[in-house]
Structure 1
Amino acid sequence: MLTYLTRRVLLLIPVMIGVSLITFFLLYFVPGDVATTIVGDRASDEAIEKVRAELGLDDPFHQRYISYMSNAIRGDLGKSYINHRRVADEIKRRFPVTIKLASLSFLITVVVGTTVGIISAVKQNTLLDRFVRSITLIGVSTPVIFFGLLMMYIFGVWLKILPVSGIGNGSFKYFILPSTVLGLNSAVFNARLTRSCMLEVIRQDYIRTARSKGLSERVVIYKHALRNAMIPIITNMIMTIGLLLVGSALTEIVFSLPGIGSYTMQAVFARDIPVVMGCFLFQAFIFVFANLFVDIAYAIVNPRIKFN
């Protein structure tokens, strides 16, 4: 297992280099002038050229990339062009907000999605199953922005029982709406996957054998069927963690949460290259490690899978 983990960790290096290279390439050749964005359209040509020289924007692509990556390896992700704050410090300050949002959303995804998927599979082709499939189809088709605004209106404006933006003093109630929106959006995918996996398993011969032995339906479903259907479900769950951590930008923007996602989007619009690069590298790091955890979880759940 140690050899397997070492090999997988080493494979992360070219992945991270590829992500950084592609991101830097896109930011380098995207239309527009960063210096003009910083000093404003009305600034003189001399002022713009001065900013370009100070930030090294006139340097060749390869020189800027090597310089940035050499600093990034040492943990220096640079400073924002806009507010001159260290990117690493900002990520460190904002990441707890994203973790809290993603954790609550993941809990909702697992509990709601898995439970609904199992019930829908066990009650296949019943009225309950048709209702669940209709709800999940609506959930898959509903944009996060629309769902978020709808929840804000119902619980924040109409019922006035929950705050609709910001984090206040960090109280749990400020995360209820955004985590529900983000969690239910992921839960519908988890429910549909769980239902499909369970339906495939409960048709197998060993499930019929277990029932013929007189085992209770609860034991058959949860001990035999669910356990053998868990590999794709666990894959989806672990990948969902990475997606929630790196894909919460829209939710954070809608609910004005100062997390990594909203920080990244603001930097993209402002063409704040150090911030965009730093956030993308950090999020890529999280995502590739989520893939590593998926492979480890495979072997834990199913002993037939070896660390080759």
Structure 2
Amino acid sequence: MLSYLARRLLLLIPVIIGVTLVTFLLLYVVPGDVVTLIVGERASAEIIEKTTMELGLDKPFHEQYLIYMSKLTRGDLGKSNVNHQSVAKSIAIRFPVTIKLAIFSFIISVIIGILVGVISAVRQNTPMDQMLRSITLIGVSTPVIFSGLLMMYIFGVWLKLLPISGVGDGGLKHYLLPSLVLGLNSAVFNARLTRSCMLEVIRQDYIRTARAKGVSEKIVIYKHAMRNAMIPIITNLIMSIGALLTGSALTETIFALPGIGSFTINAVFARDVPVVMGCFVFQALIFVFANLFVDIAYAIINPRIRFN
């Protein structure tokens, strides 16, 4: 187990190199002058030249990348080119907002997604199953931006029940709408996956044998079928945690939440290279550890799985 964890942690090195290299290259070749965005179009040539040298943008690509990587190995994510604040501190300030959004969204996603999927599988080809499948199909086909704006109008503008932007005092009511939008968007995928996995397991011989022995339907479904169907479901759930923790850019932007997702989007538009790089490295680490947790969860759920 320890050797397996050590090997997986060593994989962080090529992952970080790949993420930083690709991101750095894309930001380097994207059209536009980052210095002009910082100092303004009316700045003199001397100010533009001085700012270019201070940011190290006068150096060739490979030198800029090596300088960044040397700082990264020391745990230094740099400072923002726009407001000169520490990237690490900026991420730390915004991450709690994303954590709250992720937790509330995940709870909604798990409860609704798995419940709907199990009911749909158990009542296959019944009117209930057809109705739930139609709802999940609509949910899969609906963009987050549309469902977000629709809920903002219904619950915020029309019914005036919930705030539609910002975090206010950090209370639950400010996170309810964005969590509902993000959670339901993830729940429809969980529901469809749960239904598919459950149907595959329910058709197995050992399920028919258990029923033939007179085992109650609840035990057959919730003890035998669900346990064997949970491996791909848990994979999807844990990977969705990684996606939620890195911040859903669209949801945070729509509801004006100061989380990691909206922070990354704003940095991309501002061509703020240190912030974009820092956010992408942070997100890559989360996804790597999410994959690691998936593998560990496999062994917990199914003891037959061993680490080689």
* Residue 186, structure 1, aligned to residue 186, structure 2: yes
Q: Is the deviation greater in 89-98 or in 68-77?
A: 68-77
Q: Using the TM superposition, give the Cα deviation of residue 75 of structure 1 relative to its aligned residue in structure 2, in angstroms.
A: 1.9
* Counterpart in the other structure of 1:241: 241
* Counterpart in the other structure of 2:169: 169
* Counterpart in the other structure of 2:55: 55
Q: Is the deviation greater in 292-301 or in 147-156?
A: 292-301
**What is the CA–CA distance in structure 2 between the aligned matches of 1:78 and 1:11, rounded to whole Å?**
24
* Counterpart in the other structure of 2:221: 221
Q: Is the deviation greater in 268-277 or in 291-300?
A: 291-300
Aligned ranges for residues 49-128 of structure 1 at < 5 Å? Answer: 49-128=49-128
Contact 1:114–1:194 (8 Å) recurs in 2: yes
Contact 2:247–2:259 (8 Å) recurs in 1: no
1:94 corresponds to which letter in structure 2? R
* Residue 43, structure 1, aligned to residue 43, structure 2: yes
Q: Using the TM superposition, give the Cα deviation of residue 44 of structure 1 relative to its aligned residue in structure 2, in angstroms.
A: 2.1
**What is the CA–CA distance in structure 2 between the aligned matches of 1:294 and 1:173, rounded to whole Å?**
32
2:219 corresponds to which letter in structure 1? V
Share of identical aligned residues, percent? 75
Aligned ranges for residues 267-306 of structure 1 at < 5 Å? Answer: 267-306=267-306
**What is the CA–CA distance in structure 1 between the aligned matches of 2:40 and 2:168, rounded to whole Å?**
33
Task: Compute the TM-score of the two structures, normalised by the length of structure 2.
Answer: 0.98
**What is the CA–CA distance in structure 1 between the aligned matches of 2:301 and 2:170, rounded to whole Å?**
36
CA offset digits 1:235-258 (Å, max 9, x no partner): 001001011122511100000000
**What is the CA–CA distance in structure 1 between the aligned matches of 2:88 and 2:112, rounded to whole Å?**
35
SS at match of 1:100: helix
CA offset digits 1:66-100 (Å, max 9, x no partner): 11111122221111111111110000000000000
2:11 corresponds to which letter in structure 1? L
CA offset digits 1:121-166 (Å, max 9, x no partner): 0000011101111111110111101100100111111111111100
* Structure 1 gap ranges (5+): none
**What is the CA–CA distance in structure 2 between the aligned matches of 1:139 and 1:40, rounded to whole Å?**
44
SS at match of 2:79: coil
Contact 2:99–2:245 (8 Å) recurs in 1: yes
* Counterpart in the other structure of 2:22: 22
Contact 2:247–2:260 (8 Å) recurs in 1: no
**What is the CA–CA distance in structure 2 between the aligned matches of 1:199 and 1:95, rounded to whole Å?**
38
Contact 1:234–1:294 (8 Å) recurs in 2: yes
SS at match of 2:57: coil
Aligned ranges for residues 242-261 of structure 1 at < 5 Å? Answer: 242-261=242-261
Contact 1:75–1:88 (8 Å) recurs in 2: no
Instruction: Tell me which stretches of 4 or more aligned residues in structure 1 moved more than 2 Å.
Output: none
SS at match of 2:215: coil
CA offset digits 1:207-228 (Å, max 9, x no partner): 0111111111111000000001
* Counterpart in the other structure of 2:159: 159
* Counterpart in the other structure of 2:6: 6
Q: Using the TM superposition, give the Cα deviation of residue 290 of structure 1 relative to its aligned residue in structure 2, in angstroms.
A: 0.5
**What is the CA–CA distance in structure 1 between the aligned matches of 2:74 and 2:116, rounded to whole Å?**
46
SS at match of 1:219: helix
**What is the total number of aligned residue pairs between the two structures?**
308
Task: Compute the TM-score of the two structures, normalised by the length of structure 1.
Answer: 0.98
SS at match of 2:99: helix
Contact 1:117–1:193 (8 Å) recurs in 2: yes
SS at match of 2:11: helix
RMSD after superposition: 0.8
1:17 corresponds to which letter in structure 2? I
